[in-house]
Amino acid sequence: MTKVNDDTFAMLVANDVKNKLMPNEREVLLDAKNWDRWKRALLALIENLDHQINEIDAACALDVNRFKALGRDGKKLVDESQRIYADRRTKVERFKGYVNRRLDQVMAMIESGQPIENNPWELAELLRKAILRHRALMTKHDLEATAIDNALWDTLEGKWSFDNIDESTL
């Protein structure tokens, strides 16, 4: 097992929740000697996210009061400010949900004494999101889809189109 400092370990834990870990980094977390540390890092992350939510709410309230003081001119600023803070809060809450789910998995792992297995459904969901993001980026940047792109996107509908690609036209 490679020793990692607390900051690096916390980064590994956060990246694990985001599904952005390399296999060798995941091995660090799955080492039985690190299970309790993993749990503590997740609990600290939840505490940090709760703090972020409180800060977002406080900043929103301050902005709303400041913009309301502008009278009619501030109405649009109040609405825009509330929308922006709500979006930030939603993102933090969504991430906190993923952290809580991982904490549940780590707690079950500690209680059972068995490392968690990679859930094939989680991997399938990650791949589905990646394909959707790929298509969205292609559309956003007005890039022309290739036959390979279209075959990839067809998999979202349960179709296998890769065998129909004419490689001579690529």
Q: Which of 127, 131, 129, 166 is nearest to 149 (CA)?
A: 131
The whole-model pTM stands at 0.67
Yes or no: say if 151 and 165 are a contact pair by the CB < 8 Å rule.
yes
* Band of residue 124 on the pLDDT scale cut at 50, 70, 90: confident
Measured distance between the N- and C-terminal CA atoms of the chain, rounded to whole angstroms: 45
Sign of CA dihedral 70, 72, 73, 75: positive
What are the pLDDT digits (tens) for 59-94? 999 999 999 999 888 899 999 999 999 999 999 999
Of 84 and 19, the structure prediction assigns the larger pLDDT to 84
What pLDDT is stored for residue 165 in this prediction? 92
Max intra-chain CA distance, the chain: 67
